[in-house]
Structure 1
């Protein structure tokens, strides 16, 4: 005898085209968000501070795995956004919930010479993980003593090897005018800068009032400067004198006569290291103590420090810090101007360029083909 079940299996209802499309979009967003958070994130270079190592218009991938992925401090945000919702001025996050930031294990640590993406620490009005993304070369790691002498970086008293394509300012004198085509040949004429890095300078004979030389101020590499010398040109590095204090240089104190070309010595804070709070150390590290160590209440009057109402004569750093500089040394807003990068602001390591577009290129030569899939060193 045939026995029939009481509840016959009902055929599954086929999803509508809209539902299938929506499910695909949700899956893609979730997958992209996880990849972007855990593994790789794409960035573009908008400014010339890392030229010629990285050019304006380079698109690169940044590895989160090298140094370890950070857990989000502000979890309530629109996926795949940073600060603003695309095409609007509307915040893409809510700061109702703020979580402690942790870092998952990575397979490397930030090393001297690494090209690093990090959150710009000086944007204190934003959560740490949503501050603007900067890219620079790591010059000093925790505990290092950083010094710049006539543009040459020294780490712990030893000269650091300069990046191969590092740019420096020079003044070049010739007996003939040089046109744009000449400078383009050596990748010097940079029309993308707000202030062009080639300036004609005319020297006149005081009696005849005739032009005797033409000078140009350029940002270029040491190799190109040497080539100019071999052509018979007079080449002079443009370097600020030691002791010529700049008010915009960190730590912005009259105690130090530092400038962008002659800076330090300055020790990079290291987690667990204790310092005496002398007048000089307060000037050097007050920004760290006030803004990046998560102290509840800090009062500094220049010579004394109080934390939670208690006067302290020593301070132990709670996290590691780094000193960053751009390869275009004379055109880079970096740690010489705004100080140290906290460990919890490190985003990842720049690994390779996957696309490069010349903003000034025509339709036929817009893509810089030689830079595609170029490893970053």
Structure 2
């Protein structure tokens, strides 16, 4: 989603935000404060604490992760209670539908400020509904959990980059946000699960979900669809197999770049991707393996050069030659060194068969740098099934679209019926890492079904370099940077 798309989102939600702010403006005025104080971030929380006779230093706790979200809801709930909204139903509605109930109470002449929640008069008036501090914290924690789950499930989720498969576009140690609204949030398919634990419980390693109840795939409307070039988070399709047998939404999360969309004809020749016969521009910060030939003195890049040029996986195999992983820009800089004779991409030759490469068929003789062409399945597309196409599409037909598939001699049977064609029910995508020679992606396990799509990676909010010197751990040039 481009700038226009984000502006569309802002324009869509702006009326709701204005309603909430207008409601708090009126509530502040009813409590004897100036309405504009409700518009100033943090300061408005200080005023709420003051109105309810809570200690000001609670604001300091808002800087503590985990505690801050719970305390934020404690302050809001206290403020709502100071207007007589003490019932669980009223508090729940204010948390879940603030754009309805905050302005309603603000402009309702019958809703008046009744006094500070911590005051004696309030306790006397609402003695039966006043709860113990422990119960109030428990309620606030529940509402914080409810809202956090809603945000994580339907709007935005935080992720960390654990591996180098997307370097140098996304770096190990990048902390990023993934938007669920770009492609539309996928509703839970495994509803019985522990909150904030994806597929295993921390420390114990046991399953965090119960697979006894499974819901059909459904996605809410989004602002766009997956496009070629998007950095996409999706569920790893091979987790459906032994030993995990995980349901779709509990499979591990992967992040790759979409290189091919439904209906595209895709191929790769000597490391270059082609879509519908046209070459695709390689991401600017993509990495690949290079062969380096030196003057034979045995010199190799030192630690400083390796860190500065981001040279990875350096492997010397003769006195004059070694290989390494880096970007095209770094390879050009490395070639300027006086003892370097040449730096060339180390791509595999056509016809060299790699059994690890999809669809693992020796007749095709494909490898990670040379494969295709073939069509990426599209919903409604009918493919003729034969000895050439079946290896490409058998997993999509049997595993992802839940059909019984059998081959008896030269005959193909789907759900017990002999056939020579199949019409796909879902759209599929081809995902690849920007680190071309250090990424486990569609080249090794094939297509990604549309029901596996989680969201679009939109921006990096923090980046931590564990290999950097002590005072340069934070990559400041990546903080709050947009993901292209």
Of the three residues 422, 430, 452, the one matched with 1:345 is 452
Of the three residues 153, 175, 180, the one matched with 1:37 is 153
- Quick check: 1:335 aligned with 2:335? no
Question: Cα deviation per residue 1:342-377 (whole Å; 9 max; x = unaligned)?
Answer: 000000000000111112235422222211101101
Instruction: Give the match's secondary structure for 1:330.
Output: coil
Once superposed, what is the RMSD of the aligned Cα atoms? 1.6
Task: Name the one with the larger helix percent.
Answer: 2
CA drift at 1:11? 4.0
Instruction: Output the TM-score relative to the length of structure 2.
Output: 0.70
Structure 1 partner of 2:304: 181
Shift in alpha-carbon separation, 1:260–1:95, aligned structure 2, 3 A = same
CA contact (8 A) 1:78 1:92 kept: yes
Structure 2 Cα separation of the partners of residues 261 and 37 of structure 1 = 37
- The answer to which structure, 1 or 2, has the higher relative contact order (CA under 8 A, 6+ apart) is 1
**Bigger mean CA offset, 357-366 vs 158-167:** 357-366
Structure 1 Cα separation of the partners of residues 327 and 130 of structure 2 = 64
Of the three residues 320, 325, 334, the one matched with 1:228 is 334
Show structure 1 runs of 5+ residues with no match.
Answer: 1-8, 191-196, 204-213
Structure 2 Cα separation of the partners of residues 11 and 45 of structure 1 = 51
CA contact (8 A) 2:351 2:366 kept: yes
Of the three residues 194, 197, 207, the one matched with 1:78 is 194
- Quick check: 1:27 aligned with 2:136? no
- Quick check: 1:219 aligned with 2:325? yes
Looking at CA atoms only, which structure, 1 or 2, has the larger radius of gyration? 2
Show structure 2 runs of 5+ residues with no match.
Answer: 1-124
**Bigger mean CA offset, 82-91 vs 118-127:** 82-91
**Bigger mean CA offset, 222-231 vs 336-345:** 222-231
Which residues in structure 2 correspond to 1:270-281 (within 5 Å)? 270-281=378-389
Structure 1 Cα separation of the partners of residues 251 and 373 of structure 2 = 28
Of the three residues 132, 136, 139, the one matched with 2:259 is 139
Structure 2 partner of 1:104: 220
Structure 2 Cα separation of the partners of residues 291 and 32 of structure 1 = 33
Task: Name the one with the larger strand percent.
Answer: 1
Shift in alpha-carbon separation, 1:362–1:229, aligned structure 2, 3 A = closer
Number of residue equivalences: 351
Instruction: Output the TM-score relative to the length of structure 1.
Output: 0.90
Shift in alpha-carbon separation, 1:171–1:10, aligned structure 2, 3 A = closer
Structure 2 partner of 1:130: 250
Which residues in structure 2 correspond to 1:302-341 (within 5 Å)? 303-341=410-448
